[in-house]
Amino acid sequence: MDKKNCYVCGKKNLNKNEIGLTKKLLDKNSKYFYCLDCLAEYLEVDTEFLLAKIEEFKEQGCILF
């Protein structure tokens, strides 16, 4: 798998959670990905909220994480 970078800030090598969250919340087929900080800013929420959502989606068995 090629390494993904943040579409906004350019952070290199986004982790599986950042890629999965972008797909889950924005577009399953997205070619552009956001780091946690940039996604939080884009969605106007704090990073703690997104971290909680990641755990919630994992508990639900979401395969994106």
| pLDDT score at 17 | 96
Distance between CA atoms of 21 and 38, rounded to whole angstroms?
12
Triad 31, 46, 48: Cα angle to 5°: 95
The percentage of residues in the chain with a pLDDT greater than 70, rounded to a whole number, is: 97
| pLDDT score at 2 | 62
Taken as a whole, the chain contains a residue count of 65
Low-confidence residues of the chain: pLDDT under 70: 1-2
Secondary structure string (H, E, C) spanning 1-65: CCCCCECCCCCCCCCHHHHHHHHHHCCCCCCCECCHHHHHHHHCCCHHHHHHHHHHHHHCCCCCC
- Record the pTM: 0.89
